[in-house]
Amino acid sequence: MLHFIPAPLLGCITFLGVALNTIFWCIPLFIISIVKLLFPIPEIRCGLSQVLARIGESWIKVNNTFISMGTHMQWEITGLEKLDRHKWYLICSNHRSLVDIPLLQMIFYKRIPFIRFFIKQELFWVPMLGLAWWALDFPFMKRYSRAYLEKHPEKRGKDLETARESGKLFRRNPTTILNFVEGTRHTITKHTTQASPYQHLLRPKAGGVANILASMQDLDMTVLNVTILYPDGDVVFWDLLCGRVRRAIVHIEELIIPPELLHGDYNNDPIFRQKFQEWTQQLWYEKDMFIEKLLRKTHSVS
């Protein structure tokens, strides 16, 4: 619709629209969150959480409209056919860019329950958004450096505890939890520093997946293996606002978790932990091969 506008100007218009939309929806979001805090009755809080999720979806819907007005992205999406808004989902995805989150929100909008994901604790202080994420029950996770953990070993496993506590919270209503299994966005520097054995991926971190499954194992949670690829090269969020993201491939498949991995203590059972890590590593190896196949296919066509 706005393809004729120069990209930098389009980016500014889209950003302004998304910012104003965020401010608009944050007002009812904060009011209802205060009411939720004042009434610690589980039934009332459960109902208010559903209202807050609907506000979050309305926020996303308008954001999607602003972003779509300036882009003519060619999407290749597979695997949306059997999704259900009344089920619990855990999305296990690779992480290429900040574009991943709005892209997945656009694809899964109204197809599955409202998506929540783990956020670094420092991001709570982002103006408006930090409080909005808190109001919508997004789990905040404290990350520690390796040097800090060596001096304070008692802090090890705190992020996994957060995953387990969040899983308990999300039991009340059908929910989708998005887990970027690599724990961070892919960059060449990170890939080299990690000495990653994968060509297109960082090393996976299995703990979050294991603990979420453990805390929600009786809810018949469906695990979605999501692969994201931008075949024309790396993109940043500003590219999305400016309409510069031309192509995106998203492949979705339901994962069958081996029964022996659904019941175990990842934190305290080293044998179970090793088995779960081996399963995750194999999943990532297959994802890496799939991405390579997609790249060869798209490059041969172009």
pLDDT tens string 176-187:
999 999 988 999
Q: How far apart are CA 263 and CA 149, in angstroms?
A: 28
For the chain, what percent of residues have pLDDT higher than 90? Answer: 49
pLDDT at 115 exceeding the cut of 60: yes
pLDDT at 189 exceeding the cut of 90: yes
pLDDT at 145: 55
pLDDT at 252: 96
| pLDDT tens by residue, 243-279 | 888 899 999 999 988 888 888 888 788 999 999 999 9
pLDDT at 46: 81
All residues at 6 or more sequence positions from 91 whose CB lies less than 8 Å from its CB, including other chains: 104, 115, 176, 177, 178, 179, 223, 224, 226
Quick one: average pLDDT of 109-121?
A: 88
pLDDT at 67 exceeding the cut of 80: yes
Q: Are 295 and 229 in contact, with CB atoms under 8 Å apart?
A: yes
pLDDT at 281: 96
Q: Which SS3 state, helix, strand or coil, does residue 250 take?
A: strand
Quick one: average pLDDT of 150-168?
A: 62
Q: How far apart are CA 234 and CA 69, in angstroms?
A: 22
> What's the whole-number average pLDDT of the chain?
86
pLDDT at 120 exceeding the cut of 90: no
Q: How far apart are CA 114 and CA 101, in angstroms?
A: 12
Q: What pTM, to 2 d.p., does this model score?
A: 0.88
Domains of the chain: 73-301 (3.40.1130)
Q: How far apart are CA 55 and CA 26, in angstroms?
A: 9
- Stated length of the chain: 302
End-to-end CA, the chain: 26
| pLDDT tens by residue, 134-152 | 888 887 776 655 565 566 5
Radius of gyration of the chain (CA): 20
pLDDT at 7: 84
Tell me the H-state helices in the chain: 7-38, 42-69, 100-108, 129-135, 146-151, 158-169, 188-194, 207-215, 237-241, 270-301
